[in-house]
Amino acid sequence: MKFWKTVFAVIVGVILTGIIMLVLSVMFFSSLAASASSQPSLPKEGVLLMDMSSFAVAEQASAPDPMAVIQGGSTTTVSLLDAVNALHIAAEDPTVQFLYLKPEGYAGGFAALEELRKAISDFRAGGKAVVAWLDNPGTGSYYLASAADKVYMTAYEGGTTMFNGISTQLVFLKDLLDKLGVNVQLIRHGKYKSAGEMFIRNASSPENMEQNQEMIDSIWKTFASDIAASRGISVETLNSLIDNLALNFPEDFLNAGLVDELMSRSELEAKITALAVKESIKDVKTMSFPAYVSAKVQPNLKAREKIAVIYADGDIVDSGRGLVGKELAATINKVREDESVKAVVFRVNSPGGSVLASEKIKAEIELLRAAKPVVASYGDYAASGGYWISNSCDKIYSDATTLTGSIGVFSMIPDFSKTLKDIAHVNVTSVNSNQHGDLYGLMRPFDAAETAYMQASVERIYEHFVNIVAEGRELTPDFVDTIAQGRVWTGADALGIGLVDEIGTLSDALAYTAGLAGNPDLAAWRIEAFPKPKSTMDQLKDLLGGNNAALAPFKDTPLESVASAILDWEGSWNRRTPQYMYARIPYAVIPW
């Protein structure tokens, strides 16, 4: 009887699952069809509207999130390369009258912002006007706007000015962890390797403060120099305005020469109408930037020979979410075996992660390099593991604001024994076959022999890291050691010490790679991206097939991401694949 109850329950479960999948699929395809039918067509002539609040810029364009599509709130994503290419196309497109830029709402890193700004400057250099509008200027949005011919700003009161320079904040958890009884055992090589410092200190080390200050200063130097040159003022004047909080109200920006006019919305519309040579704003046709990208940026399908762009985007991990080492390694192998691919741009946007996963990727890159030219292009990050996998490429292009280097290694194992005993009142006893059987059990501190054992692993990996950088960059190991020690460098500073070859964009790297492949005319090549992003249907399958029950109690709470991280960690230990050797940087710098 029990058997038949079980069978019946399984049948009911299958039927219910099928019904749910059918309903969700119908909703999904209905929403997708509605979305597709509402796609705007481009007018025969119009103004290209680049409203940064209406779309997201990412390394690769991703398919819409299925649940967002169903709920009617999906966000359009445009790849950085497509965005740049669209601006280059628009510069020569007679149907595009000028570019109307609304930079507020940009969400992304400094390097992508730097590349977008350069593309806008190139558009302007082609002879077409760029008009920018600001309501609430921040550092990042103003940096983008400053590339325009004319920068207009609202005359209305009540706006919020956030043009105060750039900043990063360092968080230290030692005091909190002490209260919780958590003992974090950090073993590292590199006096600047600060990834685990937040867990063992309650304030920054002098070395970490030094590298962060120099990093921030270098990024700001790039921003300030570009802004000052575009607006015809000195860097010293710009810094004085910001340091003295002299940019508070719209008239402050006008008096300082940072904007050209203050105006109301109706006055702005009159400017746009006049520039478009129309009688009324109603006669001005606009082309949304994402729609323009979709219509105009198309691969050259006639070309048989390809240049591949392999994206290494995200934290490097052995499994789960992120840049999975074995998966990217398989992708690289696929590209190597594709005879139609004649050269490769390795686009790295990663702060690093697992050493083992980095090694797997590195090994495949070396095999690829033996078969085809491989040029690296660095995005917001190419640090630690991100630098590990790419330093031997034939040439390295980096943005000035890229964070790179961080040649160092650390191991971090928490000890929760005091937490369980003193706070949760739980006692744990280990039963081991050997003396150190519970080394990774997280329920006791290391003894001296175990600490030495872990330190030896860190030292060996650090020495290996230094040697592969020395070999890849044709430097001596002793010199690499002096610029390593876990120190993070911006691309601008990395250029002077030999970690990168040239300051340039992804487009620059592609142009150079085309020459290496035998034909410098980039238009003659088919540019193909790898790995392919998951389609919306694949995401829907993952959503329906995934088991997120363990996260249900934390759904839509501040603890959701923490719970997810803990479950991922616990899962890796249960699979007996503990991750304890890392090469990564711990922070992000955001252009507010």
Place of tokens 């193909």: 528
pLDDT-based confidence at 585, cuts 50/70/90? low
What mean pLDDT do residues 255-275 have?
A: 96
Rounded-to-integer distance, Cα 162 and Cα 538, Å: 40
Q: Give the chain's mean pLDDT.
A: 86
User: Does the pLDDT of residue 172 top 60, yes or no?
Assistant: yes
**pLDDT attached to residue 35:** 47
Interacting residues of 470 by C-beta distance below 8 A, sequence separation 6+: 476, 477, 479, 480
Mind giving me the DSSP string for 239-268?
Answer: HHHHHTT---SHHHHHHTTS-SEEE-HHHH
For 110-119, 432-441, 481-490, which range has the lowest pLDDT when averaged over its residues? 432-441
- Judge whether residue 12 has pLDDT over 80: no
Side by side, the strands of the sheet bearing 46-51 are: 261-263, 150-154, 130-134, 96-102, 46-51, 286-288
Residue 195 pLDDT level (bands cut at 50, 70, 90): confident
What's the whole-number mean pLDDT along residues 82-96? 97
Per-residue pLDDT reduced to its tens digit, 478-489: 999 999 999 999
Q: Which two tokens stand for residue 111?
A: 């390097």
Whether the per-residue pLDDT at 202 is higher than 70: the answer is: yes
Contact 79, 98 (CB under 8 A): no
Question: Per residue in 500-515, is it b (16+ CB within 10 Å) or e — as a string?
Answer: bbebbbbbbbbbbbbe
75 vs 33 pLDDT, higher one:
75
pLDDT digits (tens, 9 = 90+) for 29-54: 444 444 444 455 889 999 999 999 99
Percent pLDDT > 70 in the chain is 81
Cα(374)–Cα(347) distance, integer angstroms: 10
Between 587 and 509, where is the model more confident?
509
185 has which bridge partners? Answer: 413
Confidence grade of residue 196 (pLDDT, cut at 50, 70, 90): confident
pLDDT attached to residue 571: 47
Return the pLDDT at 54: 92
Q: Is the pLDDT of residue 333 over 50?
A: yes
Instruction: Name residue, tokens 């966000």.
Output: 75
Here the tokens at position 60 are 């690769």
Q: In this prediction, what percent of the chain has a pLDDT beyond 90?
A: 67
Say yes or no to pLDDT of 75 above 90: no
b vs e for 258-291, b when ≥16 Cβ sit within 10 Å of the residue's Cβ?
A: bbbebbeeeebeebbbebbeeeeeeebbbbbbbb
| 327 and 298 Cβ atoms separated by less than 8 Å | no
The HSE-up count of residue 495 (CA atoms within 13 Å, CB side) is 14
Distance from C-alpha of 485 to C-alpha of 498, rounded to nearest angstrom: 16
Give the CATH superfamily of 37-163+247-296: 2-enoyl-CoA Hydratase; Chain A, domain 1 (3.90.226.10)
pLDDT at 26 over 90: no
pLDDT for residue 570: 42
CA-nearest of 261, 262, 257 to 231 is: 257
User: Where do the domains of the chain lie?
Assistant: 37-163+247-296
What 3-state DSSP class applies to 384? coil
Helix axes 289-296, 80-92, angle to 10 degrees: 80
CB 371 within 8 A of CB 336: yes
pLDDT tens column, 345-383: 999 999 999 999 999 999 999 999 999 999 999 999 999
Residue 533 reports pLDDT greater than 60: yes
Residue 157 vs residue 139, higher pLDDT: 139
* Total residue count of the chain as it appears in this document: 592
DSSP 329-368: HHHHHHHHH-TTEEEEEEEEEE-EEEHHHHHHHHHHHHHH
Range list of H helices, 415-559: 417-418, 448-473, 477-483, 491-496, 506-517, 536-545
Work out the average pLDDT over 399-421: 92
Would you say residue 401 has pLDDT above 60?
yes
Q: How do beta strands 374-383 and 323-324 pair?
A: unpaired
Q: What does the pLDDT look like over 243-256, one tens digit per residue?
A: 999 999 999 999 99
The closest of 186, 187, 192, 237 to 214, measured between CA atoms, is 192
In angstroms, the CA 352 to CA 314 distance is 8
Report how far residue 254's alpha carbon sits from residue 387's, in angstroms, rounded to the nearest whole number: 43
Q: Is the dihedral of CA 240, 245, 250, 255 positive or negative?
A: negative
Residue 193 reports pLDDT greater than 60: yes
Query: Coil, strand or helix: which one is 288?
Result: strand
pLDDT tens for residues 449-471? Answer: 999 999 999 999 999 999 999 99
Encode pLDDT of 119-141 as tens digits: 999 999 999 999 999 999 999 99
